[in-house]
Amino acid sequence: MEPVLSPFTGWGRAQWEAVADDWLSQVRRHASPEGALPRLPGRITGDGVRREGMETVGRSFLLAAPRIAGASDAADPAVQAHLDYYSRALLAGTRAGGEEEWPRGVSCRLPLTGITNSIVEAANIAFSLHISRDRLWSGLTRPEQLQIGNWLRHHARCEVWQNNWQLFPAMAEGFLRAVGEDVRGLHATRNVARVESWYLGDGWYTDGPEHAVDYYNAWAIHPYLWAWYRMTDTVHTAEGQRYLERLHDFTASQAHMVAADGSLLHQGRSLTYRTAALAALWCAEASGVSALSPGQTRRIASGVLSRFTAQGVGADGPLTLGWYGEFEPMCQDYSGFGSPYLAGIGFLGLAQPETAPVWTAIEEAQPSDHGSFTAPIEPVGWVLSGASDGIVRMANHGSDHATLPVGEDEDRDDPHYAKFAYSTHTAPGTGPAWVDAIDSHFALLDDEGAGSRRSSLRATRVEGDLAGSVHVPQLHRRALPGTAVTTVTAGDGTAEVRAHLVQTDRPWPMREGGWAVADDAELATGVFEDGAWAQGRDGLLSAVIGLHGWDAPRPAVADDASRRPERARVFAYRDANAMGSHSATPALQGRTSTRNTVVVTLHVLERGGAVDPQEWRDRVRVDVDGTLVRLTWASGATSEFDLATFVPWDEHPGLTGPRGEAR
């Protein structure tokens, strides 16, 4: 360990190298005879085991490449083992007619033909060849280089989905350009320009036409753009310099997404990639454009890696599908046994020499080490905040990963986009918990208790520590006619107020849930007059308290008081949360009036806090005058906003047309 160099984590380069070597040895332990089709334990997708083996090689190469490139001693037996294996596997996989030849994606245009995931792995292999070029590519014979180059060129020609996939053919073409191979007829410059056009601001891109903003910025968009400008020697052009400015801005905001103990904010899809979220930080450091000092970069990165390993990731075998433990319900259908190895792109720091400042600078604190902070990311519609407990919370009023018009099944991974809040120590409910849609959600209910979905956001606004959005609730896959919900969020320390304006032409039962907390055993829970709470691992406590609008009259059901809706309750689940096998969410239930209903709720998420409803109530005073809401916090902070005007939105609530221009 490195207690002097790294007093916060104790981690230095030696620990990173040890983890990399261990994770890579697990791949070789399950290798095929020629190396191109390893068979790890775990799930096989509908594309079949040959695709999974190809993915395992392509993604684990992302981990091996920086280890190979940055090793001070090329004769190190561990490094030589990596070099030998990936040279052999790449040749076996790209050899036409070989027993371990990889499938080739023919096209990504509809209707699909071929096995398209090979385009993704071509990008990963090209990226890794770029990183390890001086040792791996240079060690190949000319016929071997031509063989791999032809395989890459095939994928560089492919047309792909209108999202981050645009950069996959670009990686193949970029590497071919870098090593002087034939690139006639290829079109990656167009693809890169298309991705650059999706820029939002503050370093963040949306992932194609859908408004999906997540870690794909960190583990795909930024590192692949970074590599493109380097491989094509265009980093000094106006476009390349503009990109580096965007990368700088991204590091400034992403630094706030890591808790003091190294926990990553749990939001977005493909979270099984885990440490891949660190890739952009290393890219910025390598280019000298990071908003962080070298010590801060290492502090954040080492905190994240040490947190995952301390929770057992990669400890007893190959990386598994999940977050800390294995948990497939949080994963997408396209994730197979090799998918988690995209984590390797988060080890890019190993490509820098051991004398680089990022490995020698005295470690400095990251934002969450300082306790309370507020970091609005206005172009995205997020507000990140930290408190004295080291947890980072996100108010989400920008990313939805949904499309219009409404009317079809929502994406299965929507729990990781649709919630009003995310944090570094909680995960959204999946499976039955997602069907119920309770945690960090406000819903209108039908007569059977089914809740509406947030669906596409029509407008968003961030102003300082205030964030708001408008959505048309969707129930049973249809937008509710004449109905819209405007929500504004304001936070102070470990507490947050969510205020809603429900515009509707009829009364609705309504429900609002707090953060879902989890544990490996049943959680402590409780209900009181105007709220509920649940407490799980490490004393992590979630509570909701009704501050305004929850005391409207509620009709009895069949005149049976015992069947009246409970004002507050806790919803408990098994195997529905990535943080633990048991999870629970406190929630409030009430009823709207017709036309305009204002509802204000206090949400608490804190670690080690005592169960004290009165203390929670005393944290904030709420004054509501029509749609004007005034908050006076116990800390002395104040907020005032008008729910009717805070989020500019010109559409009539009953319309389901395109998003408002307020985005």
The amino acid sitting at 41 is: P
Q: How far apart are CA 397 and CA 384, in angstroms?
A: 11
User: At 4, which helix (H) or strand (E)?
Assistant: none
Mean pLDDT in residue range 55-82:
96
Q: What is the CA radius of gyration of the chain?
A: 25
Task: Categorize the per-residue pLDDT at 365 as very low, low, confident or very high, splitting at 50, 70 and 90.
Answer: confident
Q: What is the pLDDT of residues 29-41, one digit of tens each?
A: 999 999 999 999 9
Q: What is the pLDDT of residues 530-565, one digit of tens each?
A: 999 999 999 999 999 999 999 854 444 444 444 445
Which residues partner with 496 through β-bridges? 491, 603
Residue located via tokens 């580096």: 244
Query: What local confidence, expressed as pLDDT, does residue 567 receive?
Result: 93
Residue 657: count other Cβ atoms within 10 Å of its Cβ: 10
Query: What local confidence, expressed as pLDDT, does residue 455 receive?
Result: 82
Query: What local confidence, expressed as pLDDT, does residue 114 receive?
Result: 75
Query: What local confidence, expressed as pLDDT, does residue 82 receive?
Result: 98
Q: How far apart are CA 282 and CA 302, in angstroms?
A: 12
Q: Cβ contacts of residue 297 below 8 Å, gap of 6+?
A: 251, 281, 282, 284, 285, 290, 349, 358
- Whether 298 and 6 have beta carbons less than 8 Å apart is answered as yes
Locate 284 and state its tokens: 């910025």
Query: What local confidence, expressed as pLDDT, does residue 163 receive?
Result: 93
Locate 346 and state its tokens: 């988060």
- Domain positions in the chain: 13-370, 373-642
Query: What local confidence, expressed as pLDDT, does residue 411 receive?
Result: 42
Query: What local confidence, expressed as pLDDT, does residue 294 receive?
Result: 97
The answer to whether domain 373-642 has CATH 2.70.98 is yes
Q: What is the pLDDT of residues 283-314, one digit of tens each?
A: 999 999 999 999 999 999 999 999 999 999 99
Instruction: Please list, residue by residue across 394-421, b when 16 or more beta carbons sit within 10 angstroms of its beta carbon and e when fewer do.
Output: bbbbbbbbbeeebeeebbebbbbbbbbb
Of the candidates 499, 531, 513, 515, the one whose C-alpha atom is nearest the C-alpha of residue 611 is 531
Query: What local confidence, expressed as pLDDT, does residue 501 receive?
Result: 98
Query: What local confidence, expressed as pLDDT, does residue 552 receive?
Result: 54
Query: What local confidence, expressed as pLDDT, does residue 106 receive?
Result: 72
Mean pLDDT in residue range 635-655:
81
Q: What is the pLDDT of residues 472-514, one digit of tens each?
A: 999 988 889 889 999 999 999 999 999 999 999 899 999 999 9
Lowest mean pLDDT, pick from 231-235, 368-372, 434-438? 368-372
pLDDT, mean over the chain: 92
Of the candidates 207, 199, 227, 135, the one whose C-alpha atom is nearest the C-alpha of residue 166 is 207
Q: Is pTM, for the whole model, over 0.85? A: yes
User: Which residue has better confidence, 657 or 367?
Assistant: 367
Q: Cβ contacts of residue 186 below 8 Å, gap of 6+?
A: 153, 156, 157, 169, 173, 176
pLDDT at position 658 over 60:
no
Q: How far apart are CA 475 and CA 454, in angstroms?
A: 9
Alpha helices (runs of H) in 426-550, residue ranges in sequence order: 432-436
The amino acid sitting at 463 is: E
What architecture (CATH level 2) is domain 13-370?
A: Alpha/alpha barrel (1.50)
